[in-house]
Amino acid sequence: MATPGSVGKRDTGTREKIMTATLDIMVEEGYASATSRRIAEKVGVQRAVVYYYFPTMDDLFLAVLRRGTQENLATQRRALSSKRPLHALWDMTIDPRGARILIEFMALSNHRKVIREELAAGAERFREAQVAALSFMLGGHPNPGPLTPEVVSVLISVIGRSIGLEKSLHITTGHDQTLPLIQQYLDRLETTTRGTSRSTRGQSTTASGDDFS
């Protein structure tokens, strides 16, 4: 007889549906509603099928969290490689659904240590990758001042997630004044960085030509 693990690997469709249903329930109804019975009902399978793929609810929540971490890292890579990386990163961070998912997992982590540890590990991976990319992007800025890549990363994360969470709760007071200000700053930062990078490349090309003349 096949083991749950081996069946889960073959029939990835059902496994993915279970994880997607779990996440949807957490966002729409709260993590406490994401029971095996409710998940099975949403997917349209017997409750035993949920446990066939995920022996415990912790296994299921961890799988959902890990999948989300990988998706976020992939989205982050696309944002940072776009023509306007800071804006793309900002747009990703203020997504209301993403903020809601984070809040639900944070609430869940208060009761499950394994979730708390995985959530922290995933967040650190995301922050480290972001800081590394920002260090490369902002390395040519002529006057970064106190806004180091680490500070920029934290500011984008903290302010963006707060706005995203408020949006999910339909709180909008102050957003009309704050969002344009942030967009203007990101515009200036990206424009200055791109200009400095082009200037640096031009100087490097000239120096290279001089060396071989």
User: Residue 135: its pLDDT value, please?
Assistant: 87
Spatial CA neighbour of 159 closest among 137, 174, 141: 174
Q: Give the pLDDT score at 171.
A: 94
Confidence of residue 209 (pLDDT cuts 50, 70, 90): very low
Identify the pLDDT of residue 12. 74
Residue 16: predicted pLDDT:
96
Interval 14-64: pLDDT, tens = 999 999 999 999 999 999 999 999 999 999 999 999 999 999 999 999 999
Contact call for residues 163 and 179 (beta carbons, < 8 A): yes
Q: Locate the domains of the chain by residue range.
A: 1-55, 56-198
CA atoms of 70 and 87, how far apart (whole Å): 21
Fold of 1-55: Arc Repressor Mutant, subunit A (1.10.10)
* pLDDT of amino acid 159: 93
Q: According to DSSP H, which parts of the chain are helical?
A: 4-10, 12-29, 36-43, 47-53, 57-80, 85-93, 96-109, 113-138, 149-168, 175-211
- Confidence category of residue 182, pLDDT binned at 50, 70, 90: very high
pLDDT for residue 207: 39
Q: What DSSP character marks residue 142? A: S
Token digits for 10?
């073959």
Per-residue pLDDT of 89-98, as tens digits, reads 999 999 999 9
The reported pLDDT for the residue numbered 144 is 58
Distance of CA 116 to the CA centre of its chain: 16
What is the mean predicted confidence (pLDDT) over 82-106?
Answer: 92
